[in-house]
Amino acid sequence: MTLGSKNLTQVFEGQVGDAGLAFIVMIILSLPLYMASKRMRARTVCLNGAKLAATDFYDRAEILISDPAVSKTLKNMIYDMALAVTDEGAGRDALETLLESISEVKQSGKISTPKGVLVEELKLLRRSRSDLYDMFHEALRSALASIMFAYGPDHEKVLVNYVATSNLSNLLTHAERLDRALRSRKFHNGEKAKTAAYA
C-alpha cells in the first residue's frame, strides 16, 4: 500500500525515528531543569535546617542573656553569634572564618584548646550553674549549625563540618575564633565593634 510516493512502512519508520529524536532532545533539554530542581530541593533542606537551628539558638540565647549568672563576656559572645545568625553579611563572613578554623584543626590532627578569658568564664559558670553551662554550649552548636546550613554550599558538606565542631574543645575554639572575627567587622551604624579580649 502506498501513500503518495512513499509506502506506509516508510512513513511509520520516519515517525518512529522523529519520535525517538524528539525524546532524546527532550531528555537533553530537561536535564538542566532536573539538576536545578535537585539543587533547589537540597537548598530547601538546608534553609529548613538553618531555621530550626536559629530558632533553637534564639530560645537558648534569650535565657542566657537574661540570666545574671552568665558573665558579660559570655553574653557578648552569644550576642555576636546572634549577629552572624541574623545578618547575611556577618553570616557569610562567619562561615568563611568557621571553615578556615575547622580546616586548620583537621590539618593539625589535634584537639584544639580554647584560650584565655572564655575558658575561665566557662569554668566559673560550670561551678555555679551547670545548667547554663550546658545551655551555652548548645546555643553555640545551634548558632554554628544555623550559619552552616544558611550559607554553606550543600547539606552534605554542612553535616561533615558540623560533626567537626562536635568535640567540646573544638566547638569552643571555633566559636572563639568566630567571635573575634565578628567583633573585628564593622557593625552598629558603621562604628567598629570592640575587639574581644580572648588572648
Task: Give the pLDDT confidence score for residue 75 in this predicted structure.
Answer: 93
Q: Is the pLDDT of residue 155 over 60?
A: no
Whether 144 is covered by a domain: the verdict is: yes
Name which residue leads in pLDDT, 42 or 148: 148
Q: What is the mean pLDDT of the chain?
A: 74
Whether 10 is covered by a domain: the verdict is: no
Whether 13 is covered by a domain: the verdict is: no
Task: Give the pLDDT confidence score for residue 188 in this predicted structure.
Answer: 39
Q: Terminal CA-to-CA distance of the chain, rounded, Å?
A: 94
Whether 25 is covered by a domain: the verdict is: no
Task: Give the pLDDT confidence score for residue 98 in this predicted structure.
Answer: 80
The count of domains in the chain is: 1
Q: Is the pLDDT of residue 2 over 70?
A: no
Task: Give the pLDDT confidence score for residue 148 in this predicted structure.
Answer: 84
Whether 31 is covered by a domain: the verdict is: no
Listed range (75-89, 131-145, 171-185) with the worst mean pLDDT: 171-185
Q: Is the pLDDT of residue 22 over 80?
A: no
The three cell numbers of residue 69 are: 549568672
Whether 167 is covered by a domain: the verdict is: yes
Q: Is the pLDDT of residue 128 over 90?
A: yes
Whether 15 is covered by a domain: the verdict is: no
Confidence band (pLDDT; 50, 70, 90) for 186? very low
Whether 125 is covered by a domain: the verdict is: yes
Task: Give the pLDDT confidence score for residue 195 in this predicted structure.
Answer: 35
Task: Give the pLDDT confidence score for residue 21 in this predicted structure.
Answer: 66
Residue 77 structural domain: 44-192
Helix (H) or strand (E) holding 191: strand 191-192
Task: Give the pLDDT confidence score for residue 189 in this predicted structure.
Answer: 35
Task: Give the pLDDT confidence score for residue 10 in this predicted structure.
Answer: 52
